[in-house]
Amino acid sequence: MTAGAAPHRSLAPGGRAAAAVVVVALVLAGCSGGVRAERSGGGFVQGEYGITVVPVGDRVDAPDIAGESLSGEE
């Protein structure tokens, strides 16, 4: 070892195995939402399937759009 150099340290074989177990446990815990996550729905409201046709007389006009485009044009 040269002067001023820090000694090389590595995990003991048991330490590596323990670290691997911790990493696997954290990954698996992150993937499971549990029962509460499944029941809550997360605020998601599923829409109805199908197409809604609005008669021409019931449609509202589109708003006027003004401003500068990405290319700088008005």
pLDDT at 26 over 90: no
pLDDT value at residue 28: 81
Better-scored residue on pLDDT, 62 or 27: 62
What is the spatial distance between Cα 44 and Cα 14, in angstroms, rounded to a whole number? 45
pTM (two decimals): 0.31
Angle in degrees, CA 71, 72, 74, rounded to 5: 115
Residues 35-74: pLDDT tens digits? 555 566 667 777 778 888 999 999 999 999 999 999 988 8
pLDDT value at residue 6: 67
DSSP secondary structure of 2-23: -TTPPPP----HHHHHHHHHHH
Distance of CA 69 to the CA centre of its chain: 31
The segment with the largest mean pLDDT, out of 9-13, 32-36, 65-69, is 65-69
